[in-house]
């Protein structure tokens, strides 16, 4: 990148394999650059950037929720280092819709990157972002500007327009970006539903955009492997209404809190059938509150129950809407199933409805919850070929083809999906007539160059690593901790204990090596003895002149790590422990003396600490 210092190594694809150098070019100052910091090769942390000279347009700022192997991690966010380094460039943040994988990273982005003073988003997304920033006392740091399909944003180099799309959350928008080098369309998450709940998609606007000419389309790939059209949300509404009408006892419904239209349908069906509603789960409570405020959910206070009213309300008049459709251990439904919920105890005759499908990887946890519900005597209904209890919010293959036919792009970049999904979307695009050489299946950090309505792959890449967040920490410490845990689990730990006399600058005895999780000590006695000798020789040579504790630790690691790898092909964490023996003995003696007098001096504590 001009005036930037990104890695200039050979470009690689999502699997780390070398890419063809065809079409990989240097860029000029007048080029428009397109790249993703998140959202490619994964589901989540969507963040796409369009850069021209001294401006960067950012589309979405999401998080990804950690996989099971990332214990102790709350969120995964993109590495914002590139945006930090380019602090002099004006940045504009535009949000397509209010799901966490598109807005969850906003607080972390604002904390890390300077110069983001405005966020443009639809009405519902604004409400969600507002609450998120309010919780972190960050509302004063940025201005939230509401947009809709009629809005227009004009900056120095970009003119941005919008069109309505259908998704599982209100006010979902597609984006048209006019740049000095061509037009870009970013669909955001979308599907085509001919009988939608809520606002319909702007078919005529999309067709018009296709007629005036689009250089590059960036389109949602999540359901690239699903054939045909997805079922309409109206069919799900009809099924929920039928089940609500037929259920005689209490009804407990679990769904995604983020699927606001579905939540609204469940509440409407309950009230239509004479039931009162109670909400459990923090995220569900937040979404229902915002839905009522924005008018998506049209129920008054009289239709809601408090926990104290549950026991005095007939079972056939209750509908409980809760989180936990994915088997999350701490969610309301999991606690209900386990019998640990504060207000709800399952009774025979309860009907539990899963208005969702398990996300890949969650099937086992969902099945555990379902089994517990059955054991408690509940009747459990899940999505099947007989029950249309859920439909996706993402376009399947036929809907993706329709978007491609409406927009008619010259070049295509599939986004928002694992590598397999991006690849399948590429094949779908080729079926609609886009040449293979005009389709870019990129990884996070790959840079596309748009020049005079032509698109090329750049030689350069931007650092786009994952950053692990523990609580609100975005310093990268959590990332380092996770890497250490991984090394410990794979390779173990080796501790080297060395006693020295710093006054005389000499080693008092040979180092002692202690191993945990690296090798079986009884079978590796010779290896460890040889390792001790190698460390001893390296330290002896180092201490022929004056040195520091830090240099001694580096000497231990530098001599031991290559030897252990050559002998075992494993890289354990090496922890040097240097005992300055005479000082340690004196400190210990002082500590004992002070203990006899009932106190420990600060000086003794400090000396002991230093001796470690």
Active site residues: 220, 394
How far apart (Å, rounded) are the C-alpha atoms in residues 311 and 302? 17
Residues 6+ apart with CB under 8 A from 117: 142, 143
How far apart (Å, rounded) are the C-alpha atoms in residues 72 and 480? 12
What is the SS3 assignment for 77-132? EECCHHHHHCCCCEEEEECCCCCHHHHCCHHHHHHHCCCCCEEEECHHHHHHHHHH
Report whether 532 contacts 513 (CB < 8 A): yes
How far apart (Å, rounded) are the C-alpha atoms in residues 286 and 103? 15
In 165-285, DSSP assigns E strands to 173-179, 182-186, 214-220, 251-254, 276-280
Please count the other Cβ atoms lying within 10 Å of the Cβ belonging to residue 301: 6
How far apart (Å, rounded) are the C-alpha atoms in residues 607 and 588? 9
Residue 229 half-sphere exposure toward CB, CA atoms < 13 A: 9
How far apart (Å, rounded) are the C-alpha atoms in residues 552 and 557? 9
H helices, E strands: number in the chain: 17, 26
Residues 6+ apart with CB under 8 A from 217: 184, 185, 187, 403, 404, 407, 409, 411, 412, 413
- For the chain, what is the largest distance between any 2 Cα atoms, rounded to a whole number of angstroms? 90
Tell me which residue of 578, 500, 505, 502 sits closest to 545, measured CA to CA.
505
How far apart (Å, rounded) are the C-alpha atoms in residues 270 and 303? 9
DSSP state of 572: P
How far apart (Å, rounded) are the C-alpha atoms in residues 177 and 158? 7
What are the distances in angstroms from CA 504 to CA 347, 497, 507, 512, 611? 78, 19, 9, 21, 16
Q: Specify burial of residue 608 (Cβ count, 10 A radius: 0-12, 13-18, 19+).
A: middle
Token pair recorded at residue 281: 């789960």
Residues 6+ apart with CB under 8 A from 128: 98, 103, 286, 290
Please count the other Cβ atoms lying within 10 Å of the Cβ belonging to residue 136: 14
Tell me which residue of 209, 197, 201, 282 sits closest to 240, measured CA to CA.
197
How far apart (Å, rounded) are the C-alpha atoms in residues 141 and 474? 18
Rounded to a whole number of angstroms, the CA Rg of the chain reads 30
Beta bridge partners of 115: none
Report whether 394 contacts 403 (CB < 8 A): no
């Amino acid at each position: 990148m001009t005036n930037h210092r990104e890695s200039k190594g050979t470009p690689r694809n999502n699997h780390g394999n070398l890419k063809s150098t065809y079409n990989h070019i240097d860029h000029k100052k007048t080029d428009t650059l397109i790249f993703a910091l998140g959202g490619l090769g994964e589901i989540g942390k969507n963040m796409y950037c369009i850069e021209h000279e001294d401006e960067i347009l950012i589309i979405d700022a999401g998080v990804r929720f950690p996989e099971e192997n990332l214990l102790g991690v709350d969120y995964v966010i993109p590495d914002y280092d590139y945006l930090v380094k380019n602090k002099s460039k004006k940045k504009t943040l535009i949000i397509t819709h209010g799901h966490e994988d598109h807005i969850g990273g906003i607080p972390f982005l604002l904390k890390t990157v300077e110069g983001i003073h405005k966020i443009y988003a639809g009405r519902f997304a604004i409400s969600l972002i507002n609450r998120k920033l309010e919780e972190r006392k960050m509302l004063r740091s940025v201005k939230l500007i509401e947009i809709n399909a009629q809005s227009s944003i004009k900056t120095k180099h970009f003119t941005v327009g919008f069109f309505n799309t259908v998704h599982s959350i209100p006010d979902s928008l597609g984006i048209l970006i006019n740049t000095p080098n061509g037009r870009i369309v970013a669909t955001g998450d979308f599907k085509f539903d001919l009988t939608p709940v809520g606002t319909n998609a702007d078919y005529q606007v999309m067709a018009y955009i296709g007629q005036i000419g689009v250089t590059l389309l960036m389109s949602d790939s999540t359901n690239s492997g699903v054939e045909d059209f997805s079922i309409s949300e109206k069919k799900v509404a009809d099924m929920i209404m039928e089940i609500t009408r037929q259920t005689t006892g209490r009804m407990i419904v679990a769904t995604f809190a983020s699927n606001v239209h579905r939540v609204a349908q469940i509440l409407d069906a309950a009230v239509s059938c004479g039931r009162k509603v109670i909400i459990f789960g923090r995220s569900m409570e937040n979404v229902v509150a915002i839905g009522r405020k924005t008018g998506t959910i049209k129920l008054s206070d009289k239709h809601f129950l408090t926990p104290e009213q549950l026991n005095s309300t007939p079972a056939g008049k209750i509908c409980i809407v809760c989180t936990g459709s994915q088997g999350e251990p701490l969610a309301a439904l999991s606690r209900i199933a386990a019998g640990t919920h504060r207000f709800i105890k399952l009774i025979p005759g309860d009907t539990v409805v899963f208005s969702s499908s398990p996300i890949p990887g969650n099937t086992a946890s969902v099945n555990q919850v379902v089994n517990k519900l059955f054991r408690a005597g509940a009747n459990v209904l899940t999505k099947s070929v007989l029950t249309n209890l859920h439909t996706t919010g993402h376009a399947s293959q036929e809907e993706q083809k329709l978007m491609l036919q409406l927009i008619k792009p010259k070049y295509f970049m599939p986004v928002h999906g694992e590598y397999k999904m991006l690849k399948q979307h590429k094949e779908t695009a080729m079926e609609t007539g886009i040449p293979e050489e005009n389709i870019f299946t990129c990884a996070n950090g790959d840079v596309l160059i748009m020049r005079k309505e032509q698109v090329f792959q750049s030689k350069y890449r931007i650092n786009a690593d994952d950053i692990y967040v523990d609580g609100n920490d975005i310093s990268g410490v959590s990332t380092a901790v996770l890497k250490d845990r991984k090394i410990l689990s794979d390779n173990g730990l080796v501790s080297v204990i060395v006693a020295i006399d710093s006054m005389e600058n000499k080693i008092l005895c040979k180092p002692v090596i202690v191993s945990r999780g690296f090798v079986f000590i009884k079978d590796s006695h010779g290896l460890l003895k040889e390792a001790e000798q190698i460390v001893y020789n390296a330290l002896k040579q180092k201490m022929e002149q004056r040195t520091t504790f830090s240099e001694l630790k580096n000497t231990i690691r530098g001599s031991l790590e290559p030897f252990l790898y050559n002998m075992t092909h494993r890289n354990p964490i090496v922890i040097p422990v240097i005992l300055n023996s005479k000082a340690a003995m004196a400190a210990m003696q002082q500590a004992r003396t002070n203990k006899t007098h009932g106190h420990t001096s600060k000086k003794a504590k400090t000396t002991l600490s230093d001796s470690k």
